A and B are shown apart, each in its own frame.
Chain A
Amino acid sequence: MKKFEYLIVLLDNSATSFCYYDNPSYSTGNSDLISLNLLKRIIKYANKNSMYINYLYPKQKLPETYNKIIEKDEHIKILPIELRSKNNKAIYVINPDKIKQIKNIPQNANLNLILRLPRQKIKDLSEIFELSINKCQRFNLILLDIENFKQEDLDIYAQQLVNIQKIVTGLYQSGRTVEINFVSDRILLTQMNNCDAGTKHLTFAPNGKFYLCPAFYHQNPENSVGDLANGIEIINEQLLHLNHAPICRNCDAFHCKRCVFLNKLTTNELNTPSHEQCVISHLERNTSKYVLEKLKPLVKEFEKHENIPDLDYLDPFEFVTEMPKKNLNEKQRQTQIPEGLKSFEKMTDREVLFSIYQMLKEISNKLPNK
């Protein structure tokens, strides 16, 4: 069986979303709690397969019997912010209807926060960010409704990021080490670190079935990829991997979630991101670049991080489809080829092909040596 690192368990049909997808049952409170028997079985399954469990909680409190079972094994809780307690190991989700309550969270709470920000609120992002950032040790921003973004939404986000990059620079200069998914992650990463739904993790729903992620369950329970009795089968599973994603494998927005659900929704293919997703990730990447360049001379901690190169596009689709590398001059090469790909330029065609596709040696030997 394929090895997954962790399992997301939806404790209830109305469990909070923690990502791009919407769960209509969360707002309506249409509860359908996982059965105790199923919970026990999935914990056993996860333990047997060395999978770490992340529990997604609904708004309402669980029966005590459930808590007792859950607490027996190591896990992570993802809860709506209204269930905030002193448990700092948990991740708290601020859903759109609770944004106004951020001000009630005490300063220095050191929370791991996920802010799910609706499109209409992006114009207030820097303000919300400033209000939130002193209350957490990690701040995760999730923009909602990306599938309906227009250019003006991207422009507003770009402007908000300009405001935020100044706030963040000041923050890091003052010695705070808060993690911010859309700024610091790209600075720290040297390779793709995407969501990896269906490759590193799976989701288990209260109906007893597995899904690539909770989004696929909430979209349609028929999207299942298996169950406890019959096992897991992901058809065309290779399309979840980076090497089967023609746009993403040419990209260095390493922090991008590369959300396969949004991909499917917007382009019909799991391996192909929409223009808007790419632009958002590149605006964030460029924010990281700005912050890094500002801080490198000022803060010792930042000296060790690799520079983030200039790019003259915001959507690698343009690079993939319109800019074959052989036609680039030196200046274009510097600005248009992501750092991670530059090493390929020094290789012969044969070496490039060999390293990318891991061809059989006897075949690669037939290639011309140029």
Chain B
Amino acid sequence: MLNNNTYKISKPPESWGGIQSKSVTFVVTENCQLACKYCYLVGKNSKNKMSFEVAKKTIDYLLDHKSLFPSPSVIFDFIGGEPFLEIQLIDKICDYFKISAFEKDHPWFESYRFSFSTNGILYDSPEVQKYIEKNRMHLSIGISIDGTKRKHDLQRIYPNGKGSYNDVIKNIPLWISQFPDASTKVTISRDDIPYIKESVLHLWELGIKSVNINVVFEDVWKEGDDEKFEQQLMELGDYIIEHKLYENHHCSFFSENIGKPNFDNQNWCGAGKMLAVDYQGNFYPCVRFTPFSMENKQAIVTGNCYEGINLNKLRPFLTLDKKTQSTEECINCEVATGCAWCQGANYDFADNETIYQRSTCICKMHKARVRANKYFWNKLENVNNLVNEKV
């Protein structure tokens, strides 16, 4: 049996804080320079920006209610829209947190992280660089770059249709130099399937050793997409094995643990365990439940920074388990492990107002991924056995 513990291909870099951290998301703006085709934030606009007062109230509330937020660590996620559009506000928020946590002798002062998901366009701006310099030891920054120019520019475009690849790629070397262990998040929609292999390899060539990649949860997949997807993964797998890239590179499509019956009853998604706050000071189970990311449903508000959390609204999220939201087919699925879902997408696509109806739009794509993994791990095992025999 292959011991894949030795291979980085299926091992993502360890995340800071792990499950011990409280994740708090500040949606500082609903604006973005880009209009990515697959973006789930369907209501982006240049109007709604967070005020410092709202951020301050939120931090006060968090720090003053230790019993509600007992985690020893905190990760503040700054997202948008594009968070770097509001870097001065973010700088002020971070300073306020540090000073308040120190003054209140809060344990989070000793254990905090500021995390960013950015399109990378403003990464080299003096304001952003100044902020990075100031907070370097407490930062995680992920730049979304989707792969090769043709793949990236297929989806990640400006409102006028122009691709953003050139404006992002120029900042990658600086980013890698500042965060050598940085990883990127790649999203795959229908049109992207033919470019998966080349894109993952391209990102690795750029020096991004860890590629988190997933297919969109939306109902976009058509007959035959799964086969093309499987083919891409198999070709990528062949290349990885041939060039021994499995030893030093990570791609989240590959995991030896996927594709088995799943008997545990855990929810996949962490919505509700995290907290997102928007420009109005409203709290949400995660950013996917905010008004500007809802296509079909009303947002689910779980409180606000003035009156605090409504714990009753959180109860469904904190007691949600896999079986209660899944169909019999999913519960009994022979290849269930590794199949993901997004609670916000489930809610948005559900037949009525519930988070308890799991969307199965990615079913065929997951099964294709499982088949490709089976192929990959078998081949890797065979290759290594041959090598061992020769040795």
Contacts and interface: CB of A to CB of B under 8 A. Distances in A.
Our verdict on whether A and B bind, yes or no, reads yes
Interface of A: 235-236, 239, 244-247, 266-276, 317, 320-321, 349, 353, 357, 359-360, 363, 366-367
A246 B315 CA distance: 10
Interface in B342-362: 350-357
A318 to B, nearest CB: 11
B261 A267 contact: no
Contacts of A235: 351-352
A275 B352 contact: no
A266 B352 contact: no
A276 B355 CA distance: 22
Interface stretch (B2-10, B160-168, B319-327): B319-327
A357 B323 contact: yes
B354 A269 contact: yes
21 contacts: A235-B351, A236-B350, A236-B357, A239-B354, A247-B315, A247-B319, A266-B312, A268-B313, A268-B316, A269-B316, A269-B354, A269-B355, A270-B354, A271-B324, A271-B356, A272-B315, A274-B312, A274-B315, A317-B315, A349-B263, A367-B263
Contact of B312 (A244, A246, A267): A267
B324 A360 contact: no
B331 interface: yes
A275 B353 CA distance: 21
B324 A246 contact: yes
B305 interface: no
Nearest to B355: A269
Interface residues of B, number: 25
A276 to B, nearest CB: 8
| Nearest 9 interchain pairs by C-beta | A246-B319, A269-B316, A272-B316, A274-B312, A235-B352, A235-B351, A266-B312, A267-B312, A267-B315
A235 B316 CA distance: 18
Interface of B: 261, 263, 300, 311-313, 315-316, 318-321, 323-324, 331-332, 334, 350-357
Contacts of A236: 350-352, 354, 356-357
Nearest to B331: A357
B354 A275 contact: no
A143 B101 CA distance: 43
A246 B325 CA distance: 10
A363 B324 contact: no
Nearest to A245: B324
Contacts of B312: 266-267, 274-276
B327 to A, nearest CB: 10
Contacts of A363: 261, 332, 334
A40 to B, nearest CB: 32
Contacts of B351: 235-236
Nearest to B357: A236
A272 B311 CA distance: 12
B348 to A, nearest CB: 14
A321 B319 contact: yes
A367 B318 CA distance: 27
Contacts of A245: 324
A220 to B, nearest CB: 12
A239 B315 contact: no
A137 B311 CA distance: 39
Nearest to B318: A321
Given A357-B331, A363-B332, A317 B319 contact: yes
Contact of A244 (B261, B315, B324): B324
A275 B356 contact: no
Contacts of A357: 323, 331
Nearest to B327: A238
Contact of A359 (B331, B350, B352): B331
Contacts of A268: 300, 313, 316, 353
A269 B313 CA distance: 9
Nearest to A234: B352
Given A246-B319, A270-B354, 16 more contacts: A235-B352, A236-B350, A236-B356, A236-B357, A267-B313, A268-B313, A268-B353, A269-B315, A269-B354, A273-B315, A275-B311, A275-B312, A276-B312, A357-B331, A363-B261, A366-B261
A3 to B, nearest CB: 21
B125 to A, nearest CB: 41
A271 B319 CA distance: 10
B356 A269 contact: yes
A215 B332 CA distance: 36
A246 B324 CA distance: 8
A246 B318 CA distance: 10
B319 A239 contact: no
A317 to B, nearest CB: 6
B274 to A, nearest CB: 15
Nearest to A248: B319
A366 B333 CA distance: 13
A14 B356 CA distance: 34
Nearest to B320: A246
Contacts of B323: 357
Contacts of A321: 318-319
B315 to A, nearest CB: 5
A198 to B, nearest CB: 13
Nearest to B353: A268
A272 B356 CA distance: 11
A194 to B, nearest CB: 17
